[in-house]
Amino acid sequence: LANGIYYAAILDPTTGCESSIRLAVTVTVNDPGTPTTTDNTQDFCLINASTVANIQVNEPNVVWYSTATGGTAIAPTTVLTNGVYYGAIVDPVTTCESAVRLAVTISVTDPGTPTTTDNTQDFCITNSPTVANIQVNEANVVWYSTATGGTAITPTTALANGVYYGAIVDPVTGCESKTRLVVTVTINNPTATPTTNAPTQNFCSINAPTVANIQVNEANVVWYSTPIGGTAIPATTALATGTYYGAIASIIGCENALRLVVTVNVNTPGIVTTTSTTQTFCLSKAPTIADIQVNQPNVVWYTTATGGTPLAANTLLTATTYYATLLSNTTNGCDNATRLAITVGFENDALYQITASDNTPCVFQGITYSIANGKSNYVWSVSTTGTITSGGGNADGTVTVSWGDVGAGTVSVTYINTCDETTTKTLNVTVATCSDLTITNTVSNPTPNFGDEIVFTVTVNNVGQGTIINTLVSDLIPSGYTLVSSSTSAGVYDPNTQVWTIPTLNGGQSETLQIRVIVLPSGNYTNVATIEISTPLDVDPTNNSASAFVEPICLTVYNEFTPNSDGANDLFRIDCIESYPNNELKVYNRYGALVYSQKKYENDWDGTANVSGVINRGDMLPTGTYFYVIDIGDGTVKKGWLSIMR
């Protein structure tokens, strides 16, 4: 509808006829209009419990909805929450509402309750704490004496024992915390001044003293380098000579301004030194504590490494360990410094005997003999089988002896000991050979042919420790051989006596003899080498003989034949070939080409080729030199040359 005059007529539903005269109606359409505001975004404080009635508009008779159209009006006493509210003017006469509603965005804020790291806070009265000193984690906090309501306390107000309530004030909206922080405040008096049993205290540097070692009668004492102010020194800080100022610590900074004064001396301990930590005395001279050698004066002696009672200077020595410290250490705080230990002993010549570098000497082996506590004027002597090779002089505490034979011997020495006493010591010696000779015998070819040249190698070993001289080894050449030559690594082999003489064999040394012979068609083929004698005699004769056995092969090859059918030497002949029925013969020309091959050869080849290649099979081979290879069937191969002459 719009403002104006409207005309109405009746319409007959049957005939369709209308009224001839219409009714005139004047229409008026009313709208109170949309309300207005000075702030379409309005902020409220949660603590004020603002309601819908508090939303600011410029017109009266405004009702509010939660939707832009429709809905039910919100009661004016409803508490505001964050969101959008929609306002309409209600005409008090016509009850008409605004066709278009006003939209207002509402923000209800609370700065939140402040927080603290300590809900029970202590303060020192000497610091004149104020309300501003209460610790909180947020800014813009005001304090009250009540949990709700009341008037904020001025920040400069002096703190007193009691409970304070803190609220955050939002600097933009002016809103305060709805719930306040509760802090209990305690005002404390300063701690007492600590006390000590010694205003001057001595310490020793070797103990690495720290500030924590200063003696006081109270706990929780902290130290400063100044009588007032300054920073507390860490307890682990190394002490230095000087003055320290102590106060009983307070976690709230409520230390007493009057500090304890302690003078500290950190002393370096005196050290006792000596030229020998093991000292030997003559019991007959009645030595005392004063006779122990040290390099410093004013030394105090104890029988223990720590503690104990000092010994008088005229205390007679005993065989024990004594401990020394300087007299100054007992008065300057270094009484627990490490004491010098001196072990005291007495000359007892019966304890010292001749010692040997080897208690089981071997013949010809140099043995060193010593006397430990000899002092001067040595006179050494040995029995007749021994020879002094070094040492043994008037000023020598040692002597080296070589024994020339097995059996008993003696070493003696006379000397003056450290107590000016003449003493003679004798050591009985049993000399052994300490040697063991072994022999081996090997042959270069144990299965030669008759007429072959072979070599026997005889090796003699000294597997012991001592030296052996004049060793005689026999090697009698059997009847199955003819001697060609001999050679040795040491010594001489006499072909007439067939004896090998070895002048010297040191421990671990070996020497060899080589005998070169030709194998005869008959005779004894076992070669035996034997160690006959040595100086000293071998301790184990069971391994002083060695044999080398040769088994000759009867396989003589005749290198020339004349296949000219004259009935003499027409065939290639090998003696004893019939003894090796599994033999195989191959013949090659000088260029390496096979010209003849025959298994189970029976001395019947007349120089005719049976292999095609260089010449035709069945042709006679021309005069010349050829090479043969004979496999006798057991893995033994014999090679050589042959000559065909026509």
Q: Is residue 511 part of a domain?
A: yes
Least confident window among 166-170, 303-307, 362-366, 410-414: 362-366
- pLDDT-based confidence at residue 28 (cuts at 50, 70, 90): confident
- Alpha carbon of residue 228 to chain centroid: 52
Cα(436)–Cα(537) distance, rounded to whole angstroms?
A: 9
Q: Is residue 47 part of a domain?
A: no
Residues shown for the chain: 646
Q: Is residue 48 part of a domain?
A: no
pLDDT in tens, 30-40: 889 999 999 99
The amino acid that residue 295 corresponds to is N
Residue indicated by tokens 């104890």? 302
- Please check whether residue 614 is in contact with residue 593, taking contact to mean a CB–CB distance below 8 angstroms: yes
CA geometry: angle 241, 246, 252, nearest 5 deg: 145
Q: What is the pLDDT of residue 236?
A: 97
Q: What is the pLDDT of residue 44?
A: 94
Q: Do 88 and 18 reside in the same domain of the chain?
A: yes
Cα(124)–Cα(101) distance, rounded to whole angstroms?
A: 62
Last residue of a domain, one of 346, 366, 397: 346
- pLDDT-based confidence at residue 580 (cuts at 50, 70, 90): confident
Residue-number span of the structural domain to which 331 is assigned? 278-346
Q: Which residue has the higher pLDDT, 625 or 27?
A: 625
Last residue of a domain, one of 132, 166, 188: 188
Q: Do 134 and 165 reside in the same domain of the chain?
A: yes
Tally of structural domains, the chain: 7
Q: Do 3 and 92 reside in the same domain of the chain?
A: yes
What CATH number did the domain enclosing 470 receive? 2.60.40.1530
Strands (E), 158-277: 162-168, 181-188, 200-204, 221-224, 242-248, 260-267
Last residue of a domain, one of 549, 571, 604: 549
Q: What is the mean pLDDT of residues 222-233?
A: 95
Residue indicated by tokens 């020495």? 413
Q: β-strands 221-224, 242-248: how paired?
A: antiparallel
Q: Do 354 and 342 reside in the same domain of the chain?
A: no
Cα(145)–Cα(128) distance, rounded to whole angstroms?
A: 19
Q: Do 458 and 502 reside in the same domain of the chain?
A: yes
pLDDT in tens, 293-329: 999 999 999 999 999 999 999 999 999 999 999 998 8
Q: Do 564 and 584 reside in the same domain of the chain?
A: yes
Cα(347)–Cα(356) distance, rounded to whole angstroms?
A: 22
Q: Do 415 and 452 reside in the same domain of the chain?
A: no
pLDDT in tens, 487-544: 999 999 999 999 999 999 988 899 999 999 999 988 999 999 999 998 888 878 899 9
- pLDDT-based confidence at residue 389 (cuts at 50, 70, 90): very high
Cα(512)–Cα(487) distance, rounded to whole angstroms?
A: 8
What CATH number did the domain enclosing 567 receive? 2.60.40
- Using DSSP, state whether 582 is helix, strand or coil: coil
Please say if the pLDDT value at position 418 is more than 90.
Answer: no
Q: Do 372 and 462 reside in the same domain of the chain?
A: no
pLDDT in tens, 456-487: 999 999 987 778 889 999 999 999 999 999 99
pLDDT in tens, 340-352: 999 999 888 888 8
CA geometry: angle 607, 608, 611, nearest 5 deg: 125
Q: Do 417 and 358 reside in the same domain of the chain?
A: yes
Q: Is residue 606 part of a domain?
A: yes
Q: What is the mean pLDDT of residues 150-168?
A: 97
Q: Is residue 573 part of a domain?
A: yes
Q: Is residue 105 part of a domain?
A: no
Find, among 216, 270, 267, 274, the residue nearest to 246 by Cα.
Answer: 216
Q: Do 301 and 371 reside in the same domain of the chain?
A: no
- Report which DSSP code applies to 483: E
Q: What is the pLDDT of residue 157?
A: 97
- Please check whether residue 433 is in contact with residue 363, taking contact to mean a CB–CB distance below 8 angstroms: yes
- pLDDT-based confidence at residue 364 (cuts at 50, 70, 90): confident
Q: What is the pLDDT of residue 504?
A: 93
Q: Phi/psi at 607 (nearest 5 deg)?
A: 90, 15
Q: What is the mean pLDDT of residues 130-147?
A: 96
Q: Do 616 and 585 reside in the same domain of the chain?
A: yes
- Please check whether residue 397 is in contact with residue 376, taking contact to mean a CB–CB distance below 8 angstroms: no
Q: Is residue 470 part of a domain?
A: yes
- Using DSSP, state whether 213 is helix, strand or coil: helix
Q: What is the pLDDT of residue 347?
A: 81
Find, among 206, 162, 201, the residue nearest to 182 by Cα.
Answer: 162
Q: Do 11 and 67 reside in the same domain of the chain?
A: yes
Q: Is residue 44 part of a domain?
A: no
Cα(625)–Cα(595) distance, rounded to whole angstroms?
A: 12
